[in-house]
Copies of this chain bind each other. A is one copy, B any other.
Amino acid sequence: MTKSEIVKQIKAKKSFLCIGLDTDIQKIPSFLLKEKDPVFEFNKIIIDHTHEYCVAYKPNIAFYEALGANGWESLQKTLDYIPENIFTIADAKRGDIGNTSTLYARAFFENMDFDSVTVAPYMGEDSVSPFLKFKNKWVILLALTSNKGSEDFQYIQLQELDREKLYERVLTKSQQWGNDNNMMYVVGATQAAELANVRKLAPKHFLLVPGVGAQGGSLEEVSKYGMNSDCGLLVNSSRGIIYSSSEKDFGEAAARSAQELQESMKKYLDLYAK
């Protein structure tokens, strides 16, 4: 999917919502467990009820991998079920030496036709660039994550140049490898104070912001400091939407949660996307 198609979708739906399909067999409504593929059945109902409010779906690959070969089948079926015009993110945080990254890229971009995959930066350019060679596919590079452990390395100040932090170096260095048409960045919403700074370093890139909702970020702060004229944001919510109810009405409940976020997003798009 191209950047202009993403932007078009955001404008049409007045939404920059990404729904995280962190589908946990232990958390889905118990009446689904009698189905042949409970994980897919759950995702199907969630997608049916929420697709009009969101512009992206982000399956968290760990949840599927934890189920072995069956999990990969549920993932494939889920991906096939997501409407064509919705951006898909394999949240896999992969990254390895070149020929291995190429295989990961093939797994997610060719075998499964995801639009994008999250990638860890630690191994540097040749671990990232193989993912950038696929047309209309995206790398979403970890820059600043929303977990406590982000303090361990990402905020460390570097000796060289103007003492930039490691995550800032990731943002600047990686712009030598890709551009805002094939690369986005993960920027944790719990660090809203840093968002304005990220925007200075990457004014045109889309940012994938996890951590609004269950992880506690503020949607208004994220919109205020993170938006650019294209919107430039995909804000993710997982548990806050998909586990809105554990009863028969879980689809409708998810729809209500998604719609609520979408309505706030509409407001912030009018206020800040310029």
**Residues of chain B lying within 8 A (CB to CB) of residue A145:** 97, 122-123
- Residue A226 lies at the interface, judged by CB distance under 8 Å to chain B: no
| Distance, CA A73 to CA B169, complexed state (A) | 40
**By the criterion CB–CB under 8 Å, are A154 and B124 in contact?**
yes
Q: CB of A173 within 8 A of chain B?
A: yes
- Asked if B103 and A128 sit within 8 Å, CB to CB, the answer is no
Is there contact, CB below 8 Å, between A103 and B152?
no
List residues of chain B with CB within 8 A of the CB of A22.
100
0 or 1 for each of A52-81: is its CB under 8 Å from B? (1 = yes): 000000001011011111101100100000
Chain multiplicity (copies): 2
Residues of B within 8 A of A95 (CB): 93, 120
In this complex, how many residues of chain A approach chain B with their Cβ under 8 Å: the count is 58
Judge whether A271 is part of the interface by a CB distance below 8 angstroms: no
> A246 — which chain B residues lie within 8 A by C-beta?
none
B160 touches A156 (CB 8 A): yes
Whether the pair B150, A124 counts as a contact (CB closer than 8 A) is: yes
Q: Which of A10-18, A33-41, A104-112, A259-267 lies at the binding interface?
A: A104-112
Contact B147 A126, beta carbon cutoff 8 Å: yes
What sequence of 0s and 1s flags, for each residue 113-124 of chain A, a beta carbon within 8 Å of any chain B beta carbon? 000000011111
Question: For residue A107, which residues in chain B have a CB less than 8 angstroms away from its CB?
Answer: 62, 65-66, 68
Most buried by B among A22, A122, A124, A173: A122
